[in-house]
């Protein structure tokens, strides 16, 4: 029974990782026979070109830790390699028999992914163009002395910088909302075990646009009363502004952010609504959240043609 449980948990985890990382995930071996062991690689973007190779023993996750190695890398020291693997052991020890690879992979990405995006979750400045530019230069180590540079405007309430689903209606901009409302695309809802998922997407070019998009959605009582409305957005200009809101579904917002990055979606905000049906879905809920978001982005025309063509080729295989 423990073997069957582990197989089920591993299958769910692999499906979630495939859904999130797509081309960065490569399955190397599966349970082809009674003695088979699952193995796969995860590519970490950035100048180190890290490839993580992971083997899942039969006892994972209930008793045995996953076996991992830094399969490929460029310029990593032995100490850095050892630390990556030590982090996996630490995370597994506190996982209490639950799957743990997503947390570990995200930790490696946080340290080594060569991401020059400006992540609003780490900022506490006003959302004026000058303020964000100043924060971007400071974050990327490129701050320069400029006599005529505008001062950074610090604020005590980060809500004015970070749009949030449940507070978006506190500040309204009727003209902006009137402009954005016709541009909002609502995906097709689908249901699994009485839980219904639906994606919504809107072109955005500022955090004010994101806030107005959310306010419009929350005016719909059915959407507003859903258990979760998970948000991610990515605005591309001279630099990239991105952020997310999990709205109570732990890790869902970051998964949506990664989807926008992987699909190279630009100047778009996506929200996935979940109406809970009373049955827990486990890791399947993340697969459905990803599917709802991606299909909405595709059907709404928010993805580049090259991404769409690649996706169609994958689906034909």
Structural domain spans, the chain: 1-113, 166-305
Note the pLDDT tens digit of each residue in 43-55: 998 878 888 989 8
pLDDT band at residue 306 using 50, 70 and 90 as cut-offs: very low
Class of the CATH-defined domain 1-113: alpha beta
Q: Which of the listed CATH numbers 3.30.230.30, 3.40.50.10140, 3.20.20.70, 3.30.360.10 matches domain 166-305?
A: 3.30.230.30
- Within 13 A of 134's CA, how many CA atoms are on the CB side? 17
Higher pLDDT residue, 206 or 71? Answer: 206
pTM (predicted TM-score):
0.52
Ranges of beta strands (E only) in the chain are 25-29, 38-44, 50-56, 67-72, 118-119, 185-186, 190-192, 195-203, 228-236, 240-245, 268-275
Q: Hey, which of 17-21, 127-131, 209-213, 240-244 has the most confident mean pLDDT? A: 209-213
Q: Hey, which of 197-206, 240-249, 296-305 has the most confident mean pLDDT? A: 197-206
Per the CB < 8 A criterion, the answer to whether 123 and 242 are in contact is no
pLDDT score, position 162: 66
Nearest to 243 by CA among 261, 315, 253: 253
| pLDDT at residue 150 tops 70 | no
pLDDT score, position 114: 57
């Amino acid at each position: 029974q423990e073997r069957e449980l582990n197989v089920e948990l591993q299958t769910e985890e692999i499906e979630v990782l495939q859904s999130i990382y797509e081309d960065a995930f490569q399955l190397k071996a599966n349970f082809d026979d009674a003695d088979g062991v699952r193995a796969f690689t995860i590519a970490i973007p950035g100048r180190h070109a890290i490839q993580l190779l992971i083997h899942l023993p039969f006892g994972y996750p209930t008793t045995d830790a996953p076996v991992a190695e830094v399969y490929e890398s460029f310029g990593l020291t032995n100490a850095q390699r050892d630390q990556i693997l030590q982090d996996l052991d630490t995370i597994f020890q506190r996982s209490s028999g639950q799957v743990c690879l997503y947390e570990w992979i995200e930790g490696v990405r946080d340290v080594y992914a060569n991401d020059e995006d400006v992540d609003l979750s780490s900022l506490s400045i006003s959302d004026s163009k000058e303020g964000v530019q100043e924060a971007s230069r400071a974050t990327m180590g490129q701050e320069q002395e400029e006599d005529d540079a505008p001062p950074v405007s610090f604020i005590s309430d980060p809500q004015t910088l970070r749009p949030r689903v449940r507070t978006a209606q506190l500040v309204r901009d009727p003209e902006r909302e009137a402009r954005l409302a016709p541009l909002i695309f609502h995906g097709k809802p689908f249901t699994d075990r009485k839980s219904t998922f639906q994606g919504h997407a809107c072109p955005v070019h500022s955090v004010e646009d994101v806030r107005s998009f959310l306010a419009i959605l929350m005016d719909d009582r059915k959407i507003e009363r859903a258990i979760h409305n998970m948000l991610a957005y990515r605005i591309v200009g001279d630099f990239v502004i991105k952020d997310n809101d999990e709205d109570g579904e732990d890790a869902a917002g970051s998964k949506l952010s990664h989807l926008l990055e992987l699909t190279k979606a630009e100047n778009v905000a996506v929200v996935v609504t979940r109406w809970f049906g009373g049955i827990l879905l486990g890791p399947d809920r993340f697969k459905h959240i990803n599917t709802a978001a991606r299909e909405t982005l595709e059907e709404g025309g928010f993805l580049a043609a090259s991404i769409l063509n690649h996706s169609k080729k994958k689906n034909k295989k």
